[in-house]
Amino acid sequence: MAARKSSAPLIEVTARPGQPLGMAPATFLRDFWQKRPLLIRNAFPDFQTPVQPEDLAGLACEEGVLARLIEHDKAQDGWRVRTGPFQEDVFPALPDHDWTLLVQDVDKWDPDVRALIEHFSFLPRWRMDDVMISFAATGGSVGAHVDQYDVFLLQAHGHRRWQIDASESIKGRQPPLGFRPDVELKLLKVFKPTHDWVLAPGDMLYLPPNVPHHGVAEDPCLTFSFGMRAPSSAELISDYLDTLIADADENIRYQDADLKVPADPNEIDTVAMARVITALNAIRMNDPDKLGDWFGRFITTYRAAGEVMAHQAAPAAEEVVEALASGMLLQRHPWARLAWRRAKRGASLYVSGQDFALPVKDAQRLAGAEQLDAAAYRGLSDKGRAVVQQLLVGGVFQLIDPNEVYEAEDEEDSEDAVVLGEVVEGRDRVEAIDADAVSDDVHSVTVHDDGIEVIVNFEDDDEDDSTGRA
């Protein structure tokens, strides 16, 4: 007898060559996007993480980096949250289990991480918020919770067990979303998973908003979280009203030139309310271009954690032409956010809260360009090159020598990062260690049956040196 075909919607697929989502992007958007979860096995085949745990720990020690350290006391079910920047001696002192380090906006600091965003070109780029990376020791977790936005969770190193409650998307039953009152994290009071998976490197889990989920490290692991921007209606209306108020014409007022003698002078009647609506409509953004310009400025600054600073002395336009001709590049600042929109005439380019009127081709090219070389610069119109000059002065673009950048990256990669703990394997068991032979830099030495665990403190002589790359 043939097996009965399941009526439950499929939420696990395996990626195929040419289909990293396991299906066409249009199919994913139609059937899964903001509708139900999807586990994609081998979404990134043979994935090699561009960021190591030591790199992440080093970045978490830098000023201006948003980082959190979450520790879980399983015996008491207690949670401790610390925020960065951290001192380097914090990490060697941690146990080998039950803690997680989370660092936001790693794509702004590491170009290799930033390059991964191109894999999500089936979504509007302005919807992408940031790439958060978490390192978890064995057993590390942030507890069962929900997110208010879409997220893609890519397993980059090690293994993590994910449990999710997909009952709403599968059974149409909303799960309980009450939070525990005894912890500062927004952890769910009740969590009843419907699915349980272990993800290996290259596997990716997509979660729509408000899907309860809980991830626990099976072994030391890295997870890359690609989060989407999703402004709330309150955030939208607040910024919209601020713009309306700033642009409002004081001469546009409530008017009642057709006023009649009221039956009751104390009543606000329906005719008066109609006049109120007329007054409000007079300042509303009925013009699609005005509304579009407001949203473009808003979304390119929404939840921005970093700031683009203006250049003190930007090169003149003719100097830019000469520099590009010599092989230099115009590099976009990693914190700059760009988008564009078709207007009644041409297009509008939005850059971190600013707007510029441009031909469509220029707006498209600049919004999608991480770098501009001499050919791309020549391909812009005069108006486009003038906008590039303004953006150069504003710090959105900067001239770089690609050869010097590569050399600097090579030197940086060779430097010591913050060490979380290093295991040195040995063939024979060591019975004793000569304390006099141990360097002052060694934090602790532990002898195991299968080797020696040595935890070393590294003190950087150059306080300004950064393990993160801007």
Helical segments of 215-359, H only: 233-247, 270-283, 288-299, 317-325
Q: Is the pLDDT of residue 412 over 90?
A: no
Query: pLDDT class for 305, splitting at 50, 70, 90?
Result: confident
Query: Residue 406 has what pLDDT?
Result: 54
Query: Residue 106 has what pLDDT?
Result: 97
Digit-coded pLDDT (tens) for 193-226: 999 999 999 999 999 999 999 999 999 999 999 9
What are the percentages of helix, strand and coil residues in the chain, rounded to 5?
30, 25, 45
Q: Is the pLDDT of residue 420 over 70?
A: no
Q: What six digits make up the tokens of 463?
A: 């306080």
Q: What is the largest CA-CA distance in the chain?
A: 104
Residue 57 CA neighbour count, 13 Å, CB half:
23
Contact between 214 and 143 (Cβ < 8 Å)? yes
Query: Chain-wide mean pLDDT for the chain?
Result: 85
Query: Residue 411 has what pLDDT?
Result: 52
288-299 vs 233-247: helix crossing angle, rounded to 10: 120
Q: What is the mean pLDDT of residues 391-398?
A: 94
Q: What six digits make up the tokens of 94?
A: 């941690």
Query: Residue 454 has what pLDDT?
Result: 47
Query: Residue 403 has what pLDDT?
Result: 84
Q: What is the mean pLDDT of residues 21-31?
A: 95
Query: Residue 407 has what pLDDT?
Result: 52
Distance (Å, whole) CA 333 – CA 308: 7
CB burial of residue 108 (10 Å; 0-12, 13-18, 19+): buried
Q: What is the mean pLDDT of residues 395-410?
A: 77
Query: Residue 143 has what pLDDT?
Result: 95
Best CA proximity match to 168, nearest among 28, 23, 9, 29: 9
Digit-coded pLDDT (tens) for 166-184: 988 777 788 888 999 988 8
Contact between 75 and 205 (Cβ < 8 Å)? no
Query: Residue 466 has what pLDDT?
Result: 35
Q: What six digits make up the tokens of 32?
A: 């899964």
Query: Residue 439 has what pLDDT?
Result: 47
Query: pLDDT class for 427, splitting at 50, 70, 90?
Result: very low
Distance (Å, whole) CA 132 – CA 147: 13
Contact between 164 and 39 (Cβ < 8 Å)? no
Query: Residue 366 has what pLDDT?
Result: 97
Query: Residue 426 has what pLDDT?
Result: 33
Distance (Å, whole) CA 101 – CA 217: 12
Q: Is the pLDDT of residue 313 over 50?
A: yes
Burial 166-177 (b: 16+ CB within 10 A, else e): bbbbbeeeebee
Q: Is the pLDDT of residue 44 over 90?
A: yes
**Residue type (1 letter), 91:** F
Q: Is the pTM of the predicted complex or chain greater than 0.75?
A: yes
Query: Residue 417 has what pLDDT?
Result: 53
Best CA proximity match to 119, nearest among 152, 144, 89, 87: 152
Phi, psi for 185 (deg, rounded to 5):
-75, 150
Residues of the chain with pLDDT > 70: what percent?
Answer: 84
Q: What is the mean pLDDT of residues 343-359?
A: 95
Q: Is the pLDDT of residue 453 over 60?
A: no
Query: Residue 9 has what pLDDT?
Result: 59
Contact between 436 and 443 (Cβ < 8 Å)? no
Query: Residue 26 has what pLDDT?
Result: 96
Q: What six digits make up the tokens of 434?
A: 């000569």
Distance (Å, whole) CA 7 – CA 10: 9
Q: What is the mean pLDDT of residues 64-77?
A: 94
Whether the CA torsion 266, 271, 277, 280 is positive or negative: it is: negative
